[in-house]
Every structure is written in C-alpha cells, then in structure tokens.
A and B are shown apart, each in its own frame.
Chain A
Amino acid sequence: MKRRLIERLAIGGLRGATFAILGATVLMLGSIALGGASTVTWSFLTETPREGMTEGGIFPAIFGTICITLLMILMALPLGVCAAIYMVEYAGGSALARIIRASVNNLAGVPSIVFGLFGVGFFVLFVGRSIDAVRGGGLLFGQPAMVWAAATLAVLVLPVIIVSTAEALNAVPRSHREAAFALGATRWQVVSRVVLPQAKAGILTGSILSISRGAGETAPILFTGCAYFLPRLPVADLHVPFTSLSIPMVNPLDQFMELSYHIFIMATQSHNATETRAIQYGTTLVLIGLTFVLNLSAIVLRTRARRRMVTV
C-alpha cells in the first residue's frame, strides 16, 4: 500500500514539474504573442521610430541585430571551432588541455554584464584607443562601435561554441580515427577527412544555438556600441579603389540600434512607458521570432544530418 502511494506521489510530482514549466512557457509566449500580434505589421518591421520613439517601426533595431549577429559569428565561429579541434584532437589528455578546458568552463559561468564591462575596458579603451594612438588623427576606433560590441558578444558565446564543438568531435567513434591512422593518415588528415565531416552537423547545431543565445543578450552591448536612438543606419559608402564606384556597406565603426536594448530602454528609459507598451510587445515578439528561426534551423540541420549519416 505504502509503495503504491509513494509511486503515485513521485509520478505526480514529476508530472507537476513538467506542466509547471510548460505552463510558464505558454503563459509567457502567449502574452507576448497576444500583446504584439496587432503591432507587428509590415510598416512596423520596415520603418524608423518616430515622435520620440512612441510611434513608427523598429527597422534600425532589426538591422542592427542582424548585423551584429553576423559579425559575431564571423569572429566567434572560426576561433571557437579551431580551439575545440586543438583541445580535443591535438592536446588530448595533457595538462595543457585540462587547463584550457577548465578556463573555458569558467568563462561560460561569467555573468554577461561582466563581459560588457570587459568589452569597454579591453576592446574600446585598450584595443581601440591603441589603434587610434598608432594611427594618429583623433578618435575613431576608441569609442563604442558595432565591431567592439560584436567582439564582446563573440567572447560571450565562445565558451559555448567550444564546448558544443568538443562534444561533437568526441562523438566521432574512436574506431574511425584508429582506422584512418592505421591507413597512414597524419593527424590533420584524420581530423579533416574523418572527424570533421562526421562532426560538422553537430558543430553547426551547437554553434547556431549558442549564437541564438548571444543574439538576445543586452548587457555585453550596453556600453560597447549600441545606441538609444540613431536617426540613420550604420551604413557608409565604401569607395572602391581606383574607380568612381562607391557601394553602401555596413560600417562596423558606427553605433547601432538593437532589439533587446530597444526593449530595455522602451520599458525603463522612455518618458512614457505606458504609451509605448504596444511597441515593447511588438519588439519582443520580433526578437523571439528571430531566435526561434535560428533554433528551428538548428533542429532542421540536425535531423537532416542524422538521416545522411545512415544513407551517406
């Protein structure tokens, strides 16, 4: 009798926890979707904020978010993947590998606001000002800019990319590595021809998930480059040398608007927070939509790769 009671209590407890999580998610997403659905229109997505940001759209923030995310990928992905390959395939179980692994895990536990402050101190004030000092001719690099915000975000997602890449590499069976070595492959040939083709999908999936996390962060970009309001997009004309052509390009030395920061200032810094409530809801919905698309692409990639593993 007692055993059956405990069984029921255990199942009830586990089920309760699951439904509590499900309920919280539905409640949160539901209220955002309900509040934002009527706001998110085509013009909301394509227009600039107007009337002291109480009207108009959020296009500059969407543009800024996409730019900074791409820039972050460009910086973090190659670095993180290379570090993970070195850690798993080359350093092996050595003392050096253990130290790297411990540092990476510690880095993953650092609060994001610390990364933000580190970004100002290191990238803007140290790296940027140093470049300016060498360059001469005033302040250009040594101020908050998209490139420094992206670099700060890259540092934030780096440990996540490294850990997920290392997991994907470790999932490749040892027997495949042995077979390749036994055929006379060098270590790099083993990595490039046997390990990476099999780990590719896992690496990409993990990276996309970490990037979708980074794309929603506010604290790291707070001081390093995002703007309260910008009347223009961070775009400048790039003159092609020796021609009269000039192409409009994203200017990574400019400041930018960003979705999560936009939500933050709308909710806390706006002179009329109730009036902008609809815009807050709409912006949140767009941000969640963007991360959802990223996560969905990760899932699609993973299932497709799994299928290919079986059928080549």
Chain B
Amino acid sequence: MSPATIAAPKPKSRPAGEGNGDAGAAIKIRFKDLAFTYPGRPALRGVSLDIAERRVTAIIGPSGCGKSTLIKSVNRIAEIGTPITVTGEVLLDAEDVYAPGIDLVDLRRRVGMVFQRPNPFPKTIYENVAFGPRLHGSTARGALDAAVERSLKQAALWDEVSDRLHTSALELSGGQQQRLCIARVLAVDPEVVLMDEPCSALDPISTARIEELIEQLRERYTVVIVTHNMQQAARVSDATAFLLDGNLVEVGETERIFTNPGDRRTEDYITGRFG
C-alpha cells in the first residue's frame, strides 16, 4: 500500500475549489490514487475521487472503463473468485478498507450493494429481506418482522407484497425483484448503498420507480450509482464522475457536468459522440 499514501494530484479537469456536488457535505468515501488490476488486465489506473455523504453520486463512462470495479472496490466484492492487486486506498470514514485486519463482514454490512440483474434468492419475499438480519445474528421474530416491514416500506414495495410475504420472491416482476433486492440491502441498516446499473434489466416504468426510490434514499444513505444511461445520471444524481479507460476524467456537480463539462472527452461522451 506504500505508493498509495502519497497524496495524488487532482485531475486537471477538476475546477479548483469545487466540491463534489455539495461543498458543505462531509466526505463518506475517498478513493486515493486507487489502481486495481485483474490478472493481466488493469481496471483502474490511479483514481482519486471523493464521495459526499448523503448525496447521490453517479459514475458514468463507456463499457469497460472501470465503473463497476470502482464501486465493487468499496465493499471488496470485486476480488471474490479472482486474484487482484490493489495499490492506493479506499477510505470509508477515513479508514482504509484494504488495510490488513479489516473486518469484511462488518464492512459489507455498512456498505450494501444492488446488482445489475435482480438476484433474489429462491426463497420467500420475507426470507429474502430477513436474510441479512439473520446473518448478523437477529433471530427474534418480532425484530425480524419489524425489519422486514420497515425495509419493504423504504423500498416502496410494501403495499404490493404485504399480503404475500411468504410466497416465492421469484414470482415477482423484474422491477419488483429489484426493489426487493434494495429492501434486502436496507434491512441490514447500511450507511452506503452501491448500485451497479440497477435499471439495466428493467422496463421504463420500473426504472422510474427505482429512480423515485433513489431520490428518497438520499435522505438517509450515501448512494453511489453506476449507470449507462445519461438521462438517468442527470435525473437522480447530485454529483457525477466520468471514467475513461480506468482513469477519472472529470467529477463535479451533475448540473455543471451536463451543461458545462470541463473536459472535451466528457462533452463527447455525454453528447453521444462515443461510448
């Protein structure tokens, strides 16, 4: 980790003095010169980026630019089943998640993740949401019931499923399944919710519902969302970061990025000239 501790130079395109979406917000996640390499394939080549607390930050960029790896480095899911090398730091509340001795169970409870395709377990709706609390030792029926109800309400799914909690989650529609996966994450009371293109497998109506939900999640959680959809990034996020070939090109308030990008490549990407 030694090369990482040297403070990285700020990307050139980042206007001096500008915060990440909101100058007043505290920093929840700080990437410090993060380089991330899969066997024979570098995914991130030194990314420095701050994620503000209780804001929605969108990560945009063409396929293969390292967006997914960037968010999966926060909860250390990217390394499952594959050997990786990491230099640099990912600080969650100023604590490096790659430091030796870090408790991965605790880290992943604090940093929840919603995946590209809805991936509910082949269990009942109730058991899907209760899965996390049960993992972390909650067994009392009343506490579980309360956690399930609260999470499903937060995920705006309660009204649709409250009368069939004990039926299979696989009978839900794709959009409902994705909201169930969000409820499953919220049930363990995380601080950060990572979303990896959560709407890429959904129809426009389901997408709109998830976007509304993200709007509400911002009040309590730090949300980082990877998306391919420019309009979505513009609609839901406070700050936007643009990644290209494993490098951070530009980050700033979403409104500014989309109206007045500081880098030519950002402008080309968001206006659809490539990617």
Report if A25 contacts B (CB, 8 A).
Answer: no
Q: What is the 8 Å Cβ interface bit string for chain B, positions 169-186, against chain A (1 contact, 0 not)?
A: 111000000000100110
Tell me whether B147 is interfacial, beta carbon within 8 Å.
no
Known pairs A181-B77, A184-B132, A184-B136; A309 contacts B122 (CB<8 A): yes
- Shortest CB distance A41–B (Å): 48
Tell yes or no: B23 within 8 A of A by CB. no
- Collect the chain B residues with CB atoms within 8 Å of residue A295's CB: none
Whether the Cβ atoms of A178 and B115 lie closer than 8 Å is yes
Q: Which secondary structure characterizes the binding site on chain A?
A: helix
Contact (Cβ within 8 A) A312 B168? yes
Contacts of A184 in B (CB 8 A): 104-109, 132, 135-136, 188
Task: Specify which chain B residues have a CB less than 8 angstroms from the CB of A311 in the assembled complex.
Answer: 168, 171
Report the minimum CB–CB distance from A230 to chain B (whole Å). Answer: 49
A183 to B188, Cβ gap below 8 A? Answer: yes
A90 to chain B, nearest CB (A): 12
A39: CB under 8 A from chain B?
Answer: no
Question: Closest CB of chain B to A250's CB: distance in Å?
Answer: 39
- Convert B113-134 into 0s and 1s, putting 1 for each residue whose CB lies closer than 8 angstroms to a CB of A: 1010101011110000001101
B105 touches A176 (CB 8 A): no
The residue of chain A having its C-beta at the shortest distance from the C-beta of B132 within the complex is A183
Inter-chain contacts of A180 with B (CB < 8 A): 121, 131, 135
Point out the residue from B77, B105, B167, B171 that lies within 8 Å of A186, measured CB to CB: B105
CA A184 to CA B81, docked complex, whole Å: 16
A residues 253-292 touching B (CB-CB < 8 Å) = none
Q: List 20 A-B contacts (CB under 8 A).
A: A92-B81, A173-B119, A174-B81, A175-B117, A176-B119, A176-B121, A177-B80, A179-B119, A179-B184, A183-B188, A184-B104, A184-B136, A185-B105, A185-B135, A186-B105, A193-B134, A311-B168, A311-B171, A312-B122, A312-B168
Closest 6 CB pairs of A and B: A312-B168, A184-B108, A175-B119, A184-B109, A182-B113, A183-B132
